[in-house]
Amino acid sequence: MVSGSQDMTNQHVASLNAEGLKQLFLSGTKFIEANVDAINSLNVFPVPDGDTGINMLLTLQAANDSVATSLPQETVGSLIESLAKGALLGARGNSGVIFSQFIKGMANGLSGCKECHGSNLQSALSHAADAGYLAVGTPVEGTMLSVMKAAATAAKNTKGDLVDVLRNAYESSVVALARTPEQLPILKEAGVVDAGGQGLVAFFAGALTFVGSEQVNFEISAATGSNSLNPTAINTDFLEHTEDEMYGYCTQFVIHGSEFNPSKIRSEVMHIANSTVVIGDDKLLRVHAHTYNPGELLNLGTQKGNLDQITIQNMDLQYAEFLEKHDKAQRPLAELGIVAVAAGKGISTILKELGAAVVIEGGQAMNPSTAEILSSITEANAKFTIILPNNSNIILAAEQALEMSEGKGFVLPATTIPQGINALLAFNPDQSNEDLLSAMTRAISETKSGEITTAARSAEINGISITEGNFIALVDGKLVSAENSAEKALITMLECSLAQDDSLVTLYFGDQINLAIAQSTASLLSERFPSCEFETIEGNQPFYQYFVSIE
């Protein structure tokens, strides 16, 4: 696996062959997996859907899966090319897309290499940093891009072998990460470092642990305002985002016990199931797997400890229901098709009724991958495809998917659900593509969007003191208030955002709010703001009590 030694444990190595590089990526992935919840917690806004760690982990898992069952690669160049392709298709969210481009850049730097020596790694990291910056339309310092650049610069200036290069890259990435709050004031105010940069540092730490002779002491500090942060704490939403790779039963449960060996138990689960993820520590484990025999998996769990939070879903039935709702036959070729992303059954229905040909279930904390968006573009089967991401964290993946597709199209800059809905209201299929895009873009720019959600931790942002559990209001992505009720948060939001000519406020209520509560809230707001008409629509979106459209 590693040139110069067959024993990879605590060996200082001079170069990597293809198998060695494959194991290096697995080691980096394990470090991110072990710290996924800690990375998620570094979200600038303390909303319960921070998903940078999840997105980076799923992107790496897609890369690793792409070479897991293939024939052994003969060269480092061919291996990293396959990893890059897997990451590209599996990329999720901004952090995942940028990370996939980082890997693609490494592939460019290692192209044609049989083995990876120190000089090859210097070239790979330089190309990787460049590719990361190219992935972002307007690069911002103080993000994971800064961490990439610092690592590449340190690697380039290193005189030594592979381990020396990687060690300097890692150490410089740690320094660059610590500097991100000084580069981005919002990070400093929130009391966090950049989450994507932290994920990249975790990957470097895992890579260095694999090739170096020394132990890497890697730790993520708790975000300011967090009651506690255990790097192995379980994020209950995390496993909902793994890809379905087989039919049967999606089985999830928690094991309580003592003296667990997560790696050993993960191997045991993988022996009897597929799509396996086992995360946790020596006292608590969460298991997710797909199997035709859930009983066998549960029996294994009971042998290890006490089971809790058992969930078993029949994926064959889910697939049958899917086929009932969606005609499997290919759509006839259309002149124009719209692909939109929605969070919640109600929102999805609205988008379809307004003309979206294909709606992808996704949004906050469940960003669709590049491959999923690409598949939806194919499903729309149009000569020209318009994509409505409806979330700022999905735009890069959408642009990447469109670039990979064979057809023409455009990604509209819709970053919220209300923007996406209003863009569809401006949709007129009789217009030329140019006029249509202009009208929909104008509708997006004229839409004021609000969001009400619950703070996942305490913080102080934009001079506003937030206590964990507060209802926080955001207008066009900017935090404007933190209150002890959703109604008060809505009132504060409208007080600071309503213009004199605004006359309609639409409340899309989420899965935590029922119709009676939504209508009661609308009546309260009507009394407070008599010049406006208030409309309530069931959105069923998770995490957010309300999406708000102000017109």
pLDDT in tens, 228-256: 333 333 333 333 333 333 457 778 787 88
Backbone angles phi, psi at 442, to 5 degrees: -65, -40
- What pLDDT is stored for residue 235 in this prediction? 34
CB 295 within 8 A of CB 270: no
CB 373 within 8 A of CB 390: no
Task: Give, for 279, the enclosing helix (H) or strand (E).
Answer: strand 274-280
For residue 473, is it left (φ>0), alpha (ψ between -120 and 50) or beta? beta
- What pLDDT is stored for residue 158 in this prediction? 93
Total Cβ atoms within 10 A of residue 123: 19
- What pLDDT is stored for residue 2 in this prediction? 33
Which tokens in the block code for residue 221?
Answer: 């500090």
The span from the CA of 45 to the CA of 461, in Å, is 8
- What pLDDT is stored for residue 93 in this prediction? 72
Angle at 433 between CA 432 and CA 436, to 5 degrees: 85
Question: Tens-of-pLDDT digits for all 551 residues of the chain?
Answer: 333 332 334 456 789 999 999 999 999 999 999 898 888 878 765 554 457 888 899 889 999 999 887 677 789 999 999 999 888 888 877 788 789 889 999 999 999 999 999 999 999 999 999 988 877 756 889 999 999 999 999 999 999 899 999 999 999 999 999 999 899 888 887 778 899 999 999 999 999 999 986 778 787 754 444 443 333 333 333 333 333 334 577 787 878 899 888 778 878 988 888 766 565 668 877 676 778 888 889 999 999 999 987 878 776 565 555 444 444 456 788 999 999 999 888 999 999 999 999 999 887 767 888 999 999 999 999 999 999 999 999 999 999 999 999 889 999 999 999 999 999 999 988 899 999 999 999 999 999 999 999 998 888 888 899 999 999 999 998 999 999 999 999 999 999 999 888 889 999 999 899 999 999 999 999 999 999 999 999 999 888 999 999 98
DSSP per residue, 513-534: S-HHHHHHHHHHHHHH-TTSEE
| pLDDT, mean over the chain | 84
Closest CA to 56 of 17, 100, 1: 100
- Burial of residue 453, with CB atoms counted within 10 A of its CB: 0-12 exposed, 13-18 middle, 19 or more buried: buried
Closest CA to 11 of 19, 436, 1, 537: 1
- Burial of residue 472, with CB atoms counted within 10 A of its CB: 0-12 exposed, 13-18 middle, 19 or more buried: buried
Closest CA to 231 of 263, 254, 257, 199: 199
The span from the CA of 247 to the CA of 70, in Å, is 21
